[in-house]
Every structure is written in structure tokens, then in C-alpha cells.
Structure 1
Amino acid sequence: MERPNITVELPGMRLKNPVIAASGTFGFGTEYDGIYPAHLFGAIILKGTTLKPRDGNPPPRIYETPSGLINSVGLQNPGIESVYDEYLPKLQNLRESGTKVILNIAGDTVDEYEAIASICEERGMIDGIEVNLSCPNVKKGGVNFGSNPDIASKVVASVRRKTTLPVIVKLAPVVTDIGKIALSCQEAGADAISAINTLPAVVIDIDKQKLFLGGGSGGLSGSAIKPFALMQVMNIVKRVSIPVIGCGGIMNSRDAIEFIMVGARAVQIGTGLFVSLKTVENVINGLVEYLSSVRKDNISQIEGIIFNNGARRF
């Protein structure tokens, strides 16, 4: 049997494999030069980028849990213009190697998302945009952009109006009906959905009798959130016709296969990158080995397969 085909199609992008570096875990793509083989990824998603520079949260920013990681970085970044001036020119060789470069964008207002999208359209050098909806809308009393369909669709529509680049929308995980929000994003012009983002979490310092993280709360990632992430991806897949990118607790090839079986077209790895320098290579090799073992010649043959075996929306 020939080597199974693990290339996947996303709107406007063909990935050489379905493994993507999650935003916030691979910096701006240059920090791992000589350490981590970025060319192995199907795509990398750069750190969350805002219109203006942000200092992020005070330390401590990271806390390891028994089955995951809590981070409270606070979107530290140099701003969109600096990302274009300092980082993206250095990633063009990576793009030429076949690894796609996607920019994660965030904002405090709809206007900020729109402004960033305009800059991306004008300056290029990327293959797509991931819109982070897990941000508070400062003009609406801090309501999370991803908390309801109407707010989410306004952000997506504003970005869609300003760019012809593929638009991926990363959804907030703790919402009433994530499938409904995903559908509203699709109707507003999203090309794909990524889910889930980290779960809100806190750490208590019992010696000092206060919150441990400098930013107060943070986001929980890693193995602990995988079962919840799988369920939310299922709920999204049942509601939309655009591709879904699964993320949340993918540490090995088995985890990646589970997400693909519930309907994800591709997967993002975040916390798993901190565990081993071999994570990406192991996941890719594991996907190929599994497909060979079940005599499938294309990864698309297992995408959403659980729905053929009695699965339903929860």
C-alpha cells in the first residue's frame, strides 16, 4: 500500500498535512529557529496580534496543572505594523517550503478588527487570518465578542469586508450554543472555524491567600480540556458546512485522530509543543501509520466517520 495522503484542503489553502501550530504557542514563527522544525507543520498560526502594541499581563503568567497548563499572557505583542516590519519578512522562506502562515488577530472593538484586516489585505505576506473572538468588547461593557451570535457575526462581517484572505474564526469555548455562534460566523463570511480556545481558569496561592497569576485569571489548555473540546467540535460540525479545525488537548496522534473522526478537517497543537520537540513529527507519523493500519489511503476517509456510526449532536 502506498503512503496515505494526509494533505487537506481549507478554503484558499492546501495544507501538506493537517497539523497546525496553535496561536500563542509558536511565537511569531522565528523564536524557534534552530530548535523546532517549523517546516514540518501544515501551517503555523502566529501569536495574537492587535492594532497597537500591548505589554500583556504582569507575571507570573504560567502555571502547570496535573493535566494541563494555565496561561495569562494577556496578548502581549508589538502591534500589527511591527509584526509586518520585523517578523513576517523572515517567514517567507517558510511559506515557500509549503508551510502556510496564518495571522491571529484580536481587538477591543469591531473597528480595530476591521483596521487590522485592512492592513493584512494591503501588505500580504500571509496565507490567512484567524480571528480571535475570545476578547472583551470594551464598547459593550466588556462582553466577550464570541459570547453570542450577533456580536460574533458583526466582527466576522467587518473582517470579511476588508480582506480577500481566508478567514478562520476561533471561537470562545464556554457559551450557551457554540453551534449557533459558528453558524452565524459562517453566514457572516467565515471560511472556517477553529475550536476550542482555552477554558477560563484561576490558580490560588494559599500561602499568600490570593490569586497566583498576575492577570488574575488565565486560560486552561492541555489534556484536561480534550473531552470538552471534542464535544464542542462535534456540535459545530453538525451546524456548519465550512471546515472546522479542532484544538484543545492534542498531545499525540491518537488525540489528533479523535478530532478528525468527530469532523475536524485539521488540528491545532499548542500545549503539546511544550512537552516534546518531537510532538509534531510524532503526530504526523502516527496519522500515517494509523491510516495504513486501517487500510485508508486518504485522511479524508476518516473525517467525521463517527457520524456514520450513530453519533448525534449533544
Structure 2
Amino acid sequence: MSQVPDLTVEFAGIRLSNPVIAASGTFGYGEEFERFADLRRIGGICVKGTSARPIDGNLPPRLYPTPSGMLNSIGLENVGVDAFIRDKMPYLRNAGCAVFVNVFGFTEDEYAEVVEKLNACAGIAGYELNISCPNTKHGGMIFGQNASSTERLTRLVKKRARRPVIVKLSPNVTDISELARAAEDGGADALTVANTFLAMAIDTDTFKPRIHTITGGLSGPAIRPLTLRMVYQCTRAVKIPVIGLGGIARAEDAVEYFLAGASAIQVGTASFYDPRAPLGVLDDLGKFLKKKGLSSIRNLVGQMQQ
């Protein structure tokens, strides 16, 4: 009987049963997907962005399907950190997978406030610092497009955090390697690469934008070659681990990211049209390794041949 491939991964001092993480903003707080997917089977879940106070989000329309992806402008809608700790964490604490909390703020002090409150909450594996969300007119984007502010914010949060800090980078920059190095210099334990691309669509019947805020974030298969390139660049620019994100819907998509150097991956937009997408990627990833005669997922990381 052939040996079952080892899918365990470790990055930033965090050990996961497998490298598949449900991406922030696409899997709610986990409980919404309970009847579709066994959360105990995935490596982790990164909950939707959490702020110091509740946010209602943007007016509709907020989502629009594109030929090979999705345009969104949710506006960082969330219950706020206090309600998250009180109402969401009791379930997540017993979900059976690693829990990462995506954190954002409109000022440096708000980032620090959220992290300090989360520090006292048990059951959290790490913080994903959102400095890159393009679907709001104020807030994190200004931090994520400037190397000095990225480094400063990362250092501030790292000093307050009692858990690993993962910085989620914006792709809407000239040189993502520069931002990766800035986050590393600020003390980041790992990176998530990357968030959505700023984009737009117009209705040719009404002459109006497809989403209320005119522009939003493009995700899905359309961006995969772009974010894959960025993961490759970042893994060569920094020494800290990189989590790959962007257009992953199949095991083969994930394998590309591992070959480019990613230590783990996140499944995002695919969960909107298939709630079991993270599990599908996980199951087929194991099959892929067996087919290739590989004993561990770690045999793939950074092994692109030239």
C-alpha cells in the first residue's frame, strides 16, 4: 500500500495540518460554510477583515461576475472586533482548524487597538494585516502602496502583537518586491501575496458602472498568472515565508504557487461558486503528490525548473 503524502506545513512558527487556507472575505466567519464543508479538514481559515468598530460596507451593487473572475466592492463590512470576540470566536475556537484574523484600520492606532484586543482572545493562530484592500475610499490602501508606511505600520503592529503577523500585500504597486522587503524590515513573520487588482466594468445598456463605487477589486482565475509572478518575485526578495493567493480553484493552480516558492496557499473566489472548493483543492493535491511519487508537499516548494 502506497504511503499517504505528508501535507503538513509550518510557517512563521505556525503548524498546519495542510497548506490550504480559506481566504479572508470569501469564507465569512466559517460557520456560514459549516453545512457545506468540514472545517476540520482544511489547514486554516482567515476570517473577514476585522476593524475597531462595526462597518456596514458599501451600497449595492457590490459584486459583478467578469468573464474570468469577479469584481467586488464590499467595503470591508464586518461586525467589529468586540462583537467578533464575543459572538464569532466561540464557534471558531472549536472549528478544528487554524484561525487567522484579518485586521485593518483607518489609522495606525486603530490597527494597534484591534490587535491588542485580539491578544487577549484564545484560539487565534495569527494576524493577517490588511494594508492593501482596494474596495474602500479610505484606510489601508495608503499604507500598502508606500514602502516606508508599510514598514512603519508593520513595525507598530508587530510590537503590539503577541502572535505571528502576516502582511497581506497589494498588487496595485509598481514593484511588489519593494513592499515585501519593507514588510520584512518591519518585522513581518510572513506575507500573503496578493490582494485583488483595482478594476472596473461598465453596463453598455445603462452607461452606468457595474458596481456602486465605480471601481473595485478583481479576483479569480484572471489574476492568477499575475499573482503567481508576484509570489515568485517576493520569494526571491525576502527570507520570510510567502502564502500564495489569487485565482486558485484546482490543485494544479495551487501546485504552480508551490513551485514558485509559496509555503501555503489561500482559496478565495472559488468558494463563491463552490463552497467546497478548499476541500476539492486539498483532496486533489494529495492525489497529485501520489501521482508524482512525492512524499511531502514540501517537495514542491520552490522547485520550478529552468
Q: Please give the TM-score of this superposition, normalised by the length of structure 2.
A: 0.95
Question: What's the secondary structure of 1:267's corresponding residue?
Answer: strand
Matches of 1:52 and 1:141 in 2, distance apart? 13
Kindly indicate whether the alpha-carbon contact (under 8 Å) linking 1:110 and 1:154 is maintained by their aligned counterparts in 2.
Answer: no
Kindly indicate whether the alpha-carbon contact (under 8 Å) linking 1:250 and 1:269 is maintained by their aligned counterparts in 2.
Answer: yes
Counterpart of 2:64?
A: 63
Matches of 2:289 and 2:225 in 1, distance apart? 23
Within the alignment, does 1:206 sit opposite 2:209 as a pair?
A: no
Q: Please give the TM-score of this superposition, normalised by the length of structure 1.
A: 0.92
Letter in 2 for 1:62: L
Deviation at 1:212, TM superposition (A): 2.1
Deviation at 1:207, TM superposition (A): 2.4
How do residues 58-97 of structure 1 correspond to structure 2 at under 5 angstroms? 58-94=59-95, 97=96
> Per-residue displacement from partner, 1:124-175 (whole Å, max 9, x unpaired)?
3311100001158x9x998621112101011111110111201111000021
Question: What's the secondary structure of 1:93's corresponding residue?
Answer: coil
* Correspondence for 2:153 among 148, 152, 155: 155
Deviation at 1:228, TM superposition (A): 0.2
Uncovered stretches (5+) of structure 1, i.e. residues with no partner: none
Counterpart of 1:226?
A: 224
C-alpha change, 1:187 and 1:297, in structure 2 (3 Å) is: same
C-alpha change, 1:266 and 1:142, in structure 2 (3 Å) is: closer
> Per-residue displacement from partner, 1:3-40 (whole Å, max 9, x unpaired)?
11010001131110100000000111222222332222
Deviation at 1:284, TM superposition (A): 1.3
Deviation at 1:215, TM superposition (A): 2.1
How do residues 184-195 of structure 1 correspond to structure 2 at under 5 angstroms? 184-195=182-193
Within the alignment, does 1:257 sit opposite 2:258 as a pair?
A: no
Q: C-alpha root-mean-square deviation of aligned residues, in Å? A: 1.7
> Per-residue displacement from partner, 1:251-309 (whole Å, max 9, x unpaired)?
10000000000000000001111222442222112211221222211111110001xx2
Deviation at 1:189, TM superposition (A): 1.0
Kindly indicate whether the alpha-carbon contact (under 8 Å) linking 2:33 and 2:275 is maintained by their aligned counterparts in 1.
Answer: no
Uncovered stretches (5+) of structure 2, i.e. residues with no partner: none
* Correspondence for 1:290 among 271, 280, 288: 288
Matches of 2:78 and 2:140 in 1, distance apart? 21
Q: Which one is further off, 212-221 or 68-77?
A: 212-221
Within the alignment, does 1:130 sit opposite 2:128 as a pair?
A: yes
Question: What's the secondary structure of 1:158's corresponding residue?
Answer: helix
Q: Which one is further off, 111-120 or 42-51?
A: 111-120
How do residues 3-14 of structure 1 correspond to structure 2 at under 5 angstroms? 3-14=4-15
Matches of 2:153 and 2:115 in 1, distance apart? 11
Letter in 2 for 1:107: G
Kindly indicate whether the alpha-carbon contact (under 8 Å) linking 1:23 and 1:45 is maintained by their aligned counterparts in 2.
Answer: yes
Letter in 2 for 1:181: L
Aligned residues between the structures:
303
Counterpart of 2:23?
A: 22
Within the alignment, does 1:280 sit opposite 2:263 as a pair?
A: no
Matches of 1:277 and 1:78 in 2, distance apart? 22
Matches of 2:45 and 2:276 in 1, distance apart? 16
Deviation at 1:214, TM superposition (A): 1.5
Within the alignment, does 1:117 sit opposite 2:118 as a pair?
A: no
Matches of 1:103 and 1:278 in 2, distance apart? 21
Kindly indicate whether the alpha-carbon contact (under 8 Å) linking 1:233 and 1:264 is maintained by their aligned counterparts in 2.
Answer: yes
C-alpha change, 1:121 and 1:135, in structure 2 (3 Å) is: same
Matches of 2:207 and 2:280 in 1, distance apart? 42
Q: Which one is further off, 214-223 or 34-43?
A: 34-43
Amino-acid identity (%): 41
